[in-house]
Structures are given as C-alpha cells and as structure tokens.
Amino acid sequence: MIIVKSCKCIKVVDKQKRAYLELHLAVLLFGFTAILGDLMDLPAIVIVWWRLLITSISFIFIIKSIRHLGSFSKNQILRFMGIGIITSLHWVLFFAAIQYSNASITLVALACTSFFVSLVEPIIMKRKFEWIEVVIGLIIVPAMILIVNNIEDGYVIGVFLGLLSAFLAAIFTSLNKKYIVDGKERIISFLELGGAWIFLSLLLPIYHMWQPIEAFWPSNMDWVYLLILALLCTTLAYVMAMKALNYISAFASALTINLEPVYGIFLAVFLLKEHKELNLEFYLGVVIIIAAVTIYPLLMRRRKRKLI
C-alpha cells in the first residue's frame, strides 16, 4: 500500500515538473511575439487581423464541441466578444509600439501590466485597494521615467503606446477574472478572438480611409512569421499554459508569466541585437520594474498568510 502511494506521489511530482517546463515554454513563446512583430513589414492592425483569423480557425479544431456555445446566454456571448475587442486593441497597440520603438522597449512597458491590474482590478471586482500595490506603483513610476529619459526621442511614442497596451491588458485580464466560467476557457477564448476579429474587420476600412494601408497581403516570410505567431505563440502557448494549471497553482502560474518581458528582452538582445540601441540606464530601469513585478505577488502571498 505504501509503495503504491509512493508511486502515485512520484507521478504527481513528475507531472508538476512537466507542467512547469510547459509553462516556461509557453511564456517563452509569449515573449517571442515581440520578436515576430519586429520582423514583419505589415502594419500593426493588419498583423493582428491575420493573427486573429488564423488563431480563431485553429481554436475550432481544439474545441471539443461548438455546441457548448448553447450553455452561454446572449449577454454572456456579447460580453466575451466585447472583451475580445479590448484584447484586439491591446494587440494593435503592442505591435504599433514595437514599430515606433523596438521589441525591448515595448516589453518593458508591457511589464507594467501587473501594476495596472493592481489599479484596475479593485474597481472592476469592487474591492479595496492594497497599500502594497501603491508601493509597487511608486517603484515602477521612477523606473519608467529613467527609461524614457535615456532613449531616443522617437522611441517615446513607442513607450506611450506600450503603456497604453499594458493598461488595456490589465482591463481585459480583470474582466476575464470576473466573468470567467470554469471549464469553458477554450470556448470563451474562441468567442473573444472571434469578436476581436469581427471588430477589426469592421475597423479596417475606416482605418484605411484615415491611414491608407499599402501592404495587406503578407509576403512569403510574413506568412511564416504569422503562422508561428498564431499557431505557436498564441494557440499552442495558450493550451500549454491552461494545461499547466491542472498541476500547479494559479499563483505559481502568474509568477511565471511575469517572466515574459525578461525572456522577450533576452531574445531581442540575442536575435535583434537591440542592446546596441540601448544604454545602461535603460537596463537599470528594466531591473527595477522586473524586480517590482516579481516581488509584488510574493508580498501579497506573505500578507495573506499573516491574515489567516
């Protein structure tokens, strides 16, 4: 009996190790998104339109049955599609930030998402603000100032767009947390991605009148980048991240996902040689932000333990 229990424990530990490995691979793929955005020649809104189309189609094949949509009310379907619209704008601003600056700067701005969540989530979830969140915010603000003051003037727009993208990410993350339905994550993602694609399809003609789109059809290499972006960095990464939650805690998952900017910046330095465009002050600001984002959940967990 003891031997059987020991074998079961070993199997659980092995599955946890595999889950952590898959989650880190998913986060690495998330970080690779910025690299692909930097490599493509298409406008940001076109990149996101194609990404959403390919990803939405791929989700049809991983959803066990589309009939599960019948378990959602009309209001729920519209709500999740609305959240998808916010997601699409987040992605458009993310890729636009890369095009105005570079992948490293955009990923640093994205690292501020956790701070924005600390401001947005209490409002959406109707709970009190935490003093720890205020402290983290005070740490991040001077770090961002340090970064902005030590980059080229043209990159400042990229920082602003990146921060706006992070703010929208905080909104749709908090809304998902409020309205998520257990066991229906894939259907919800399909609704959000589908709603996002429909929204951008309606927005594209208006955008084209304001800013003529010279390149809409991807080149041969852009097709390669788009397929990697949609199938690997979105669909596969999402499935692995969701699967990992079966064996590790949500806290451990969130803490790992915070490493996305770290992985992304290292990839940008290694693949795009962006370290030649950035100085020591920039990386000092990066270290401060990453440290703040990483310490925040640890402090919150420690505080909750004291309250128990």
What span, in angstroms and rounded, lies between the C-alpha atoms of 276 and 269? Answer: 8
Furthest CA-CA distance within the chain: 72
Tokens of 269: 């330095």
Q: Which two tokens stand for residue 12?
A: 């659980």
Decide if 10 is inside a domain.
Answer: no
> Would you say residue 17 lies in a domain?
no
Alpha helix (H) residue ranges in the chain? 2-39, 44-62, 74-100, 103-110, 113-125, 131-148, 156-179, 185-210, 220-227, 237-244, 250-257, 260-272, 280-307
What is the dihedral sign for C-alpha 96, 98, 101, 107?
A: positive
Residue 110 lies in a domain: yes
* Each residue's pLDDT expressed in tens, for the chain with a length of 308 residues: 555 444 455 555 577 788 888 888 988 998 889 899 989 989 999 999 999 999 999 988 877 666 667 778 889 899 999 999 999 999 999 999 999 988 888 888 887 887 788 788 888 888 887 777 767 777 777 877 777 776 777 788 998 999 999 999 889 888 887 887 666 777 888 888 899 999 999 999 999 988 888 889 999 999 999 999 999 998 888 888 877 767 776 556 666 776 777 788 788 878 877 666 667 777 788 788 778 767 766 776 676 666 55
Closest CA to 166 of 122, 105, 123: 105
One-letter amino acid of 253 = S
Q: In this structure, is residue 207 part of a structural domain?
A: yes
Into how many domains does the chain fold? 1
Domain extent, residue 66, equals: 36-307
103 lies in some domain: yes
Q: Within a domain: residue 208?
A: yes
In a domain, 31, yes or no: no
228 belongs to a structural domain? yes
